[in-house]
Every structure is written in structure tokens, then in C-alpha cells.
Chain A
Amino acid sequence: MTYELIIGLEIHAQLNTNSKLFCPAATDFGDSPNTNVSPVSLGLPGALPVLNKDAVRMAIMAGLALDCDIQERSVFARKNYFYADLPKGYQISQFEFPICLGGKVHLDEFNKTINVTRIHMEEDAGKLNHQGADGIAGATSSIADLNRAGVPLIEIVSEPEIRSAKEARAYMEKVHQILSFIGVCDGDLEKGSFRCDANISIRPVGQVEFGTRTEVKNLNSFRSLERAINFEMKRQIKVVESGGKIIQQTMNFDDVSGETSALRSKENAHDYRYFPDPDLKPLLVTQTDIDQVKSSMSELPDAVRQRFSSELSLPDHDIKVYLQTKNLFNFFESARLKLNVASAKDMSKWVVGELNALLKTDDVLLERLSQDDFAALIDQCSSGDISTKMVKDILPRLLKSEPLTSVLSALGGAQISNESELLSIVNSVLAANPDVVAKIKNGKVASANFLMGQVMKETKGRAKPDTVRELILNACEAQ
């Protein structure tokens, strides 16, 4: 029997706000435990929630980016359960009336559109730091850190239209790309800013009804999602093939073993006793509000991809880097307009290659690089005034805010391509290295590289490499 996989994803994305969803406490990650708190996020007696407008704006942005209908009226509800990381004994979330309904995400590589059911806003819980063990199992005690409690989240719920682990991964990556690119989520998976629950079931190919599903919680990487789905699929098929029944339950995925395990079954499921939070009025959003958010939004990744590919002829790899790295994208978009000689594609090669690499290694800041100087550098390289080798030498200095003109004059000027000027240097290098000249004459042309290096050294790297090479080979032959 062959089976079909049915997957629906619930993605939790932290909104990139400065303060929490219902109080002014900061959302910074990694601060000392229980420092980013207020009476509200601590759930102190008498404290009341006040909705963060910026979180609403970002939720609307996310909704627009995923092609949702923004609801003019949405309602915050209380989801009641007890846990040590949940200060009020309930989580404020949207239940019956979420802020966004409908929506879609297109997966190019599968030529398929996944429909989004809804997006709702909610607050995150705190974090338990288990003492004496890696997880809660075996821990002697647990310490609650409520810095994360109350951080705004959006939950994006997909229709169960995903049919493979690869599709699921592509969907999660696409949503991640969109939310990060428009700036509503920092997208940092390691910090837990973007995570996912997967609802997974199988059915024999041809069967219309869905099978019983399990829900794998808290998948915090694309790879974990893919692995968890594949493991769960095999597990479910094994259960069914051996005559068993799938139990509706919540599962955990262990990254080390690559296996899922049951957390709780449906019988033990919580009754969350949702009801509208009487401390908060319904959230009303006007069409004008929505239009305002829309007009302030940057271009969406799909549009960027289209434009970069058709108008600037950028390779797919470059586009992908820009969609992942917003500051590089912003830099490129304005710096490329300052080019006179080189093409945007020429510049992109340097941005995505050398510049991006430099940014990742040292503590260099893109903000310190002058767009004018960078564009002038690429122009001079394209016009042959300076070599690619020189670009590599100059770029780190520009990143330290040294002006291009002073870097060039320190190097003694632009590239030397004048043959007679170079010839005298080549002749003196040859005279000093007769053994190498002999090798070349005997056919070891590769040894010319050594002599080129010597010429470069003499000229502080300014010699035009092609010309030097030609001069060396010609001179050797003539000897």
C-alpha cells in the first residue's frame, strides 16, 4: 500500500517590537533573567494588559505579505492553563476572531500554492531553566525566567495542503524569508524567534478522508521539521501496517535521536476554556489603518526576485543572498544607482562575494562603507583602471571608512598598464631570477606566476596582471 502524507503547519513568529504585547517591558533576548519584566508580564495582582500598537501594525504587515484578509474586528481571548512559565494562569491569544483570515504562500520549486487559514496574535510564555539535567526529565528544580513572557507572537496556520517533508520545509523557509525580509520578525531560529508545530497524518493514496493526526511541537529549524515529518510518517505507516491505530496526540521531536515521542494524548488534552478577555476591548482596525500599513511596506521577496532577475539579470544565488540579508539588499539597492561604468550585475558579484564574506568574518560594519566610494571602486575595476586583486586589497580599508582617494594615493595610484613602464620592471625581475627564466624556457610556464608575484611586489599590486604575464612570457622566449 502506498500512503499520502498530509501536513498542516502552525508557525510561531516573534514580532520584532521593542516592547512586549501588553506592557512596556523590553523584548531583548539574552538579558539577565527576570529583568525585562513589569507588573503585567509578571502577572502581579491588579496588573492589566494594554495592547502594543506596533505589534498590531506588524501583524497587519505579515497578513498583507501573506495575502490575507485583514479583519476590521478581532478579539483577544484567554487560553486558560496552569504552568510555571505562564504568569497569569492564562495566555492572551486570539481564538474565535483572529486578525487575519485566508492567505497564500506560493512555492516556486513545487509550482504549488499553500493556503493560509489564519494568522492570530498572542503573547509568548516565559522560559524554564531546568537545573541538574538537560531537560525537565531528571531535573532537580526549574527556574522561571519571565523575560520572554508577553513577547508578541503571530501564529500562522496553514491548511493541511502540504504533501511532503520537502514541501513543508519549503513552506517554512518561504514564510521565514517573507517575514524576515519585511522586517516583522528577526527570523533567528536559534533564539526561538521562529518555530513551528507540524500536524501530520497519513492516508492510503486515493482515500478522501484524513487519517488521525499527531502534532509535533516546537520544531526550531528547517532541518528538524523535515526530519520530524519523515520520522513521523514512517512511524505512522508502521503502526497502520501492523494493524494498529494512530492515536491523536501531541509529540516531541528529539534532535539528537531524530525520533518523535508522545507528550500527551487527546484524553489528557487541556480544556483551555477560551473566553474573550474582559480586560481588553475588541481590536478595531479601519481600512485607512490597513492602507497606511500597506503604503509603508517595502517590496515583497517575490517582487524583488522578479525584478532582480529580469531587470538586472542577477544570478539566482545573488538574489537568494539579498532576500536573506536585508541590510546587504538595502546597500546594494542604493549603491548600484551610483554606478557609471559597471553594471549592477558586476557590482552584485562583489557585494554577494567579497563584501558579504568580509562582513561575516571581522567586526566590520556595512554602515561604515561609503556607497559612493564602493561604486567608484567597482567602476574603476570594470574600466580596467584597477585590478580585481586591488579591489580585494582596497575593500577592507574602505570598510574602515578610509576614503577611496587616499587609499589609492597611498598605493601610488591606479593600475599600471603602460607597457614600457612595466617592461623595465619585468626586465629587472628577470635579470634577478635567471634560474626561473630557464625553467620557463624549458616549458614550465606555471613558473611565470612566481615572477608575476615579484612584479606585483615591486608595483605594490598596481601592475595590470594580464599585461605583466604577457611581457614575462615574451621576454623569456626572446632570451
Chain B
Amino acid sequence: MSILRQIEKDLNSGQYTVAELTQAVLKKIAADDTNSFIESFDSSALNTAAEIDASDQTSSLIAKGMPVGIKDNMCFENHGVTCASAILDGYKSPYTSTAVQNMLDRGFVPVGRLNMDEFAMGSSNEYSIYGLVDNPWDASCVPGGSSGGSAAAVASGLVPVSLGSDTGGSIRQPASFCGVVGLKPTYGRVSRYGLIAFASSLDQIGPFAQYVEDVAILFESICGFDSNDSTSELRTDQSFVDQLKSGTLTGKRIGVPNELMSEKVATSVQDAIRKTLKTLESAGAIIDYFDFKYFDEALATYYILAPAEASSNLSRFDGVRYGHRSAKGQTLRDMIELSRQEGFGDEVKRRIILGTYVLSSGYYDAYYGKAQQVRGVVTQRYSDLLNQYDFICSPTAPTTAFKKGAHEGDPLTMYLSDLATIPVNLAGLPAISIPCGLDSNGLPIGFQMTGGWFQEQSLLQAAYELEQRLAFKPKNQFRMDPLL
């Protein structure tokens, strides 16, 4: 299944124009009350759509005219971008991020920016100045986070695809909660230029869709070496769609960490994962269980490194050049302090304080230095495991979507919801979450597959084949017909 292929067919057969498609999507967004979109890019989207309609019709870009939503932390020239934070209220970027530019070059039409946890810090989309986002499966539940809006917009059929970013699970966990597919690429695969940084050594942009094929199409459109990002990697393998359907699960070795099939994970989630593993087995894959050993250490390490980098990355928001500037304050110091005090939310402040502390003189070696060492150990562990296994599979999240407000005032429990996703970011590996079933409340469960560095091709192939066998039914598929 591919929604983008269907739209392509419709456009080619003249069922509707790109302008009509864009207009319909914008109408849908305007009528939506799940709060997944912060702003729709009405005029620029319609202009782009008209340009595409007027342009050479012979070019065969599959992405031509496809509507896409982008997370509110990616810069797009002359468009607002705020990271769902008051500190960037009213800010418009004077330049376009590389990922968005690559997507534009392929013909995608950005239709709006999507809700998120402030500065991508959170797992429920509850830390946003724009308010909570409904989970399309149950409006009383959160969509996950931090890319909650990106996942929910796709799950509710507002857009066929969207972009999110993943620092510790921010694509995969909401994909899991919303019953959609989400890919976190290998660190260095997609340029971070123009992605407003949370934790530079962990951040990676990635796609959301309801089907693996659409994820592959969007992924192929955004990736590639970028001389504006020193951590971007020059790779020759950049086409993932052509070979998507020619993989096989037969003989694939799959490792499952015991820790993620234990009491740390909800029973209903474990059951669904076990069923999925059986499906893999019946497709010819070989399942093996192992002890990962370092989940607790990985979590602790992440909550040192990510805040440390964030504390420095967020220093540029000082009220001097752009964004919120406090009207109070008589000195430069006061102005900076008050602007940040007024502009940042509690979770962001919590992480800045944490990060500032672990980098402070006298504490650096004990925290940051040690965490870097542990990161090396975790990465080495993955390297060894990936010699043994083709993929490491587990639940994406320990639970299904929780109720709004369930973890209010309890950030540590919230942090645990990224237990299965965080170690992957520490190692910089690619991982995908695909929906594999529902719990007794009818909420979707995500299955996480982690592959070797830059092995997105085989990861997508495996996910595609598994998807065919699971035949998961999306909640609200993106449809064009009822709008016409």
C-alpha cells in the first residue's frame, strides 16, 4: 500500500490537480480540532501547487505535488518556526533547512507546521505552548512526543506524510502511540542544517506515514550529504524505493533484548510483540533472545548528554537578536535572564538546569565525561550485537498511549517511556517503528526494528515485508475522494 502512489495515479489521470489536492488538505486542516497543526502555510502551499500544475507535466517525480507537514523545529524561509516555545513566538526563519529544501526540490508541498513538545523535550506533546494534541485513536490520550503533531496528523489522515525529529525516540514513540510508521535514520544520513537543535549529537530528522513505502519515498527525498552540516555523511546508497519490495525475511537473524520483554513493559504490549515475532518466524526469520545489559545506563547517560548539549544549544535564545525579549529588566543580564525565564517552559528549564549542572567545573568528569564513556560502551555493545543479528527488535514503547495528564508532575516516569528508543540514538543507529496490533483498549502498539549503521535499505525492506504480513488497519487513512 502507498498513499503517495495512489495520489500520483490520481494526479496523472487528471482526477484532480495539485492545487485542488492542496486546497482540500488545507480545508481539512482548518476544520481539524485535534490541534496537531500549529499553522497551515495556506498561501505558500497554494502558490507552490499552482506552480507545479503549470510546470512541465512530463517529469516523473513521484513526490510532485504531495502534501507534507513539517515539525515546528525545521526552518522554512519566510515561515514561522517556534519549537512550540514562547521564546520563539513570532520568529520567521530567513532561510530553509536542507531537509525541507531537498523535499521541495522533489516536488513536495509543505502545507503547515506541526505541534510538538517544546524544543522536542517530552514524550507526550503536553509541553507545548500551543496546547495538547489529541491521539486520533482516543482523544483523551496523548499522541506521544516529541513529534506528537507529526504522528497525529498522519494518523488522522490530515496529510499522507510528515516530518519529525528524533533525539531519544521522538519519532518512533509517537508513531507507536498513533499507529503509524516512523523512521529514525542513521545519525549523519539526513542533514541537520536548519533543524533547531535539541541535542546535536543525537538529533536526526525522519519521516512519518501510514505505510512503509511512503516512509521510504519521503526518506529518499530528504537524505543526502550536506556540506552545511559537518556531521553529515557522504553515502552512495541513497535510493530506497526501487528495491523496497525485493528483500526477504528468510534467514534474517533477529535479536530480542530480554529486558524489553519483561515487567518493564505492559503485558498487552509484550503479547503483541510476541505475536509479531511469530509472524517474522513464520516468514523464515530466526528469532533469538539476549540480555542487552545496559538499558538503565543508557537512560542515565542520555539524560546527562542530551541536557548538556541542550543547555548550550539553547543559549542563543537570549532575547538579543530575535524571539522573545522581556520588557522588564534594566541591565543586559536582567534582560537575558528574564527573557529566558518568561520564554522557556518548565521542562525546558529543567533540562537546561540539568545540563548546566553536569557541565559545571568540578562535575564534568563525574557526569559528562563518564556519560561519554558509557555511550562508547553502549555503541560497542550494539556493534557486537549487529555482527550477530541483522535486526534488533523490541516494543517501541513500554506502554500504549497514556491519558493526558497521567504523568503530570512526574517527569521521571515520562522519561521511562523512551527506554527502548534512547539507546538507539546513543549509538546513532537507524530504527523504524511500525504498528503491529492493538491493546484491549483499542490503542495501537508499535514494533521497533533497529538495523546496522546506514542499513536503512535492508531495514525498510524487512519492515515492508512484515507490514504486508501484519496487515495492520490504519485508523483514518488519508483520502481525497470525499472532499471533492
Contact = CB atoms under 8 A, between A and B. Distances in A.
Interface of A: 39, 42-51, 78, 80, 82-84, 87-90, 142, 144, 271, 273-275, 278-281
Contact of A279 (B83, B231, B364): B231
A52 to B, nearest CB: 12
Interface string B221-255: 00000011111000000000000000000000000
Interface residues of B, number: 46
Contacts of A89: 312, 314-318
Interface stretch (B89-97, B154-162, B258-266, B377-385): B89-97
A44 B93 contact: yes
Given A46-B197, A87-B321, A273-B356, 14 more contacts: A39-B94, A46-B193, A80-B359, A82-B315, A88-B315, A89-B312, A89-B315, A89-B316, A90-B315, A271-B360, A273-B360, A274-B359, A275-B308, A279-B230
B368 interface: yes
Contacts of A80: 311-312, 315, 359
Q: Would you list the 3 A-B pairs with minimal beta carbon distance, nearest first?
A: A89-B315, A273-B359, A278-B201
A271 B359 CA distance: 9
B21 interface: no
Contacts of B312: 78, 80, 89-90, 273, 275
Contacts of A142: 332
A39 B91 CA distance: 14
A87 B316 CA distance: 6
A275 B308 CA distance: 9
Contacts of A274: 359, 364
A83 B308 CA distance: 20
B336 A278 contact: no
Interface in B174-208: 192-197, 199-201
B361 A48 contact: no
B30 interface: no
A45 B201 contact: no
Contact of A275 (B91, B94, B231, B359): B359
23 contacts: A43-B316, A44-B75, A44-B94, A45-B91, A45-B93, A46-B74, A46-B195, A46-B196, A50-B228, A82-B333, A83-B332, A84-B320, A87-B320, A87-B321, A90-B315, A144-B321, A273-B361, A275-B308, A275-B359, A275-B368, A278-B231, A279-B200, A279-B231
Contacts of A278: 199-201, 231, 309
A415 B28 CA distance: 97
Nearest to A78: B312
B45 interface: no
Nearest to B82: A45
A203 B196 CA distance: 52
A474 to B, nearest CB: 82
Contacts of A90: 312, 315
A144 B361 contact: no
B230 A275 contact: no
Contact of B320 (A44, A51, A144): A144
A44 B231 contact: no
A275 B309 CA distance: 9
A84 B231 contact: no
Interface in B308-355: 308-309, 311-312, 314-318, 320-322, 332-333, 336
B7 interface: no
A257 to B, nearest CB: 26
B88 interface: yes
Contacts of B316: 43, 45, 87-89
B81 interface: yes
Between B81, B195, B316, B356, the greatest number of chain A beta carbons within 10 A of the residue's beta carbon is seen for B316
Contacts of B311: 80, 273
Given A43-B321, A80-B315, A89-B312, A275 B364 contact: yes
Nearest to A80: B312
Nearest to A88: B316
A142 B196 CA distance: 28
A44 B322 CA distance: 8
Contacts of B93: 44-46
A45 B312 CA distance: 13
A138 B21 CA distance: 61
Contact of B336 (A49, A82, A271): A82
A271 B363 CA distance: 11
A144 B201 CA distance: 31
Contacts of B229: 48, 50
A45 B308 contact: no
